Structure 1
Amino acid sequence: MHRSPAASSRSVNASAPADTRIYAVGDIHGRADLLSEIIARIDDDIRRRPIAHAIEIYLGDYVDRGPHSKTVIDLLTVRLVANRAVCLRGNHEAVMEGFLQDPAILQYWLQLGGMQTLASYGVELHNGTETANDLHRRFLDAFPRTHELFMQCLRTQFSCGDFLFVHAGIRPDVPIEHQDANDLIWIRDAFLNSTRNHGRFVVHGHTPVAHSDIRHNRINIDTAAWRTGTLTCIAIEGSTILFL
């Protein structure tokens, strides 16, 4: 896995609580191999630099496009239970959950990379002869109870100190407590083009960038891991963002 070519650390006008280090990981999209490396890197960093409170936050989009969505959720389920990791809901999880409830959205999900997710659960498409209802039934049968519980634990936002963690962004000019959950997992231009101070420094993914994009009011750490091989993890301590 390649490290981000961005500067190894940056200072921002925001601060995490004392004696706290926050690890935030960008969009994974089925790259369990890269996630395993990041997890090992986080564990090694904590061993080398012990701290009273270490918080792991995964920004969503665990499934679709890459080959091993099921294994990604297996890994994150362990981190959630063992490390109390914070796992946010991305738009791809929302669409997968939608298909679990309604087979009618199959074609929409397949356009977003759902075929790779189905395959990771052992649900292969048979020469296009199966109906959406057939695939829905087989996916329900293959979807483990532990993954159902994992999905129920997903959050839409998480705040720590001066930092706000969301999948996609927030609606500018709307107080954080009044944000629409749909915006938190889907928004793009209205948030990305905003130069205003949001009251919190926003850490997000959702919109792929070549390198981690740090602005005065936000940082985007979605580096399109599924196709670039670069899964970005940052460590926030005080007012410093370190690229792990």
Structure 2
Amino acid sequence: MTRWSEEIAQSFHSGECGHWLPFLPEGVRIYAVGDVHGRADLMDRLFHKIDHDLAKRPIVRPICVFLGDYVDRGPKSCDVIDSLIRRGSEREFVFLRGNHEAVAIRSLTDVAIFENWMRRLGGLETLVSYGIEPKKVLSESGVAELQLVFRERLPDAHLRFLNGLQSSFSCGKVFFAHAGVKPGVALSRQSERDLLWIRDEFLSSTLNFEKLVVHGHTPVQRIDMRSNRINIDTGAFVTGHLTCLIVDREGLSVLATG
């Protein structure tokens, strides 16, 4: 058991999330993975840990839930999506949309959004991962041409993957979203913008959200476990710590890189 698994277990047994029991239906286990941000190396290491855990503890229905933000900032966004597409054909996966995927998709058809994505949100690293030389294209032809090159280099399978991402996922008494939920609004009526972008209003809330919310989006040094939510974005692209929260019917544990 990792240090974080021990801390999660202590928090759980102290009653932090115990009122949500049982978390899941019989025979289901969920492996929820936080923001990857182009760190294909960490994701591959985490997959190895998940596979090892499943080999030791088989279960009828394992589900891998990825919370979004697969691209940008880290160096291997293209490889991350390739790997997720391949893995998604092997067992049950749920891929959620992060705000970075939403912006990347919009950048394909809006030059202003493309430039903002590239210069401020880590899109530059994503372009490089697709074999593009942004500085060269910009110096020779400009932003509009670079946007066109990106549209041409993005494989159809990657575009289908990005367009097919879900806004949220619910199972048993657990609700998964990239950023969180708007307090006071039923989970069934959450807007996509809040699911992908919300921060302070959600993070500071002590309200009961109907279900335990597992989310990412806001990087933390260590898993942030509250009575109504758990944040598992541990800033992988900077820290080297990519985190997976394991949700079993009667408990919680953690797998992590680093």
Matched, 1:103 2:114: no
Matched, 1:217 2:225: no
CA shift digits 1:162-183 (9 cap, x unpaired): 0000000000000111110010
Please point out which of 160, 163, 171 is paired with 1:152.
163
CA distance in 1, matches of 2:8, 2:227: 17
CA distance in 2, matches of 1:5, 1:83: 25
Native 8 Å contact 1:4 1:230 kept in 2: no
Aligned to 2:52: 44
Aligned to 1:58: 66
CA distance in 1, matches of 2:5, 2:198: 26
Q: Can you give the 5+ residue segments of structure 1 that lack an aligned partner in the other structure?
A: none
Native 8 Å contact 1:157 1:164 kept in 2: yes
Native 8 Å contact 2:177 2:215 kept in 1: yes
CA shift digits 1:16-38 (9 cap, x unpaired): 11111100000000000000011
Native 8 Å contact 1:3 1:230 kept in 2: no
Considering only aligned residues, what root-mean-square deviation do their CA atoms show, in Å? 1.5
Aligned to 1:115: 124
CA distance in 1, matches of 2:162, 2:132: 19
Secondary structure of residue in 1 paired with 2:107: helix
Per the TM alignment, residue 3 of structure 1 is displaced from its structure 2 partner at its CA by 6.8
Aligned to 2:150: 139
CA shift digits 1:106-136 (9 cap, x unpaired): 2310201000000000111135423221011
Structure 1 residues 103 and 81 mapped into 2: Cα distance closer, same or farther (>3 Å)? farther
Native 8 Å contact 1:32 1:71 kept in 2: yes
Corresponding letter in the other structure for 2:231: N
Aligned to 2:37: 29
% identical aligned pairs: 46
Secondary structure of residue in 2 paired with 1:18: coil
Corresponding letter in the other structure for 2:34: G
CA shift digits 1:47-92 (9 cap, x unpaired): 1100111000000000000000000001111122222310000000
Aligned to 1:164: 175
CA distance in 2, matches of 1:99, 1:150: 16
Matched, 1:16 2:24: yes
Native 8 Å contact 1:104 1:132 kept in 2: no
CA distance in 2, matches of 1:151, 1:188: 23
Q: TM-score normalized by structure 2?
A: 0.90
Aligned to 2:88: 80
Native 8 Å contact 2:5 2:254 kept in 1: no
Corresponding letter in the other structure for 2:45: E
CA distance in 1, matches of 2:104, 2:68: 12
Native 8 Å contact 1:27 1:231 kept in 2: yes
Q: TM-score normalized by structure 1?
A: 0.95
Native 8 Å contact 2:68 2:178 kept in 1: yes
Between Structure 1 and Structure 2, the one with more helix by share is 2
Q: Can you give the 5+ residue segments of structure 2 that lack an aligned partner in the other structure?
A: none
The size of the alignment, in residue pairs, is 243
